Amino acid sequence: MIESYDFGQITIDGKTYTSDVIIYTDRIETSWWRKTSHKLAPDDLPDQVLKEKPDVILIGTGYYGYMKVSLETNELIESKGIKLLVEDTKKAYHTFNQLSKKEKVIALLHLTC
């Protein structure tokens, strides 16, 4: 469960992280980064994200929502039958807490910008 989020930091299950994260159902990957920091391209999705076959992939685009998800990334995710939600991270962390109660959700969260 995500306890709190503010620009540049997120607290999950009592631990605070200061770099972008991927929240899987059983673990957290820290220091997630993209080749172009404010654009999410298909190559920026770790293979494991799609292999885990979540019901939903939730992308937090940063405090101000500056990170963009490419059309190719959107198409790749949806072609696997996975629902894609894209929200600024301020909203996405609340969405994650609600959805993860009833669905398998993987969240990729950009913490700044």
Residue that has been written with the tokens 């998800």 in this structure: 69
The CA distances from residue 94 to 2, 11, 57, 90, in Å, are 8, 12, 14, 8
- Average pLDDT score, the chain: 96
Write down all domains in the chain, each with its CATH number in brackets: 2-110 (3.40.1230.10)
Triad 2, 78, 74: Cα angle to 5°: 75
On the question of pLDDT at 58 being above 90, the answer is yes
pTM of the model: 0.96
Q: What is the pLDDT of residues 72-103, one digit of tens each?
A: 999 999 999 999 999 999 999 999 999 999 99
